[in-house]
Structure 1
Amino acid sequence: MHNTVFEDLLRALGDHWIAGTDEAGRGPMAGPLVVAAVMLPPGYTHPDIDDSKKLSAKKREALFDVITQDAISFCIQVIEPEVIDRINIYEASRRGMTDCLRALDPVPQAVLTDAMRLYESDWREISLIKGDHKSITIAAASILAKVYRDRLMDQYDAIYPMYGFAKHKGYVTKAHKEALSKYGPCPIHRRSYRPVQEALHAQLSLFEET
Structure 2
Amino acid sequence: MPEPRISIYPMLAVNFIGTLGLSLVLPFLIFLVERFGGNAIIYGLAASMYPVFQLVGGPLLGRWSDIYGRKKVLFLSQVGTFISWVIFLAAMLIPVTRIVDVRSGMLGSFVLTLPLLLIFIARAFDGLTGGNVSVANAYLADITEDKDRSSVYGKLSVSTNLGFIFGPALAGILSVTVYGEILPVIAAVLISFAGILMIAFLVPEPRTHGLHDP
TM-score, structure 1 normalization? 0.30
The structure with the largest helix share of the pair is: 2
RCO greater where, 1 or 2, for CA within 8 Å and sep 6 or more? 2
TM-score, structure 2 normalization? 0.29
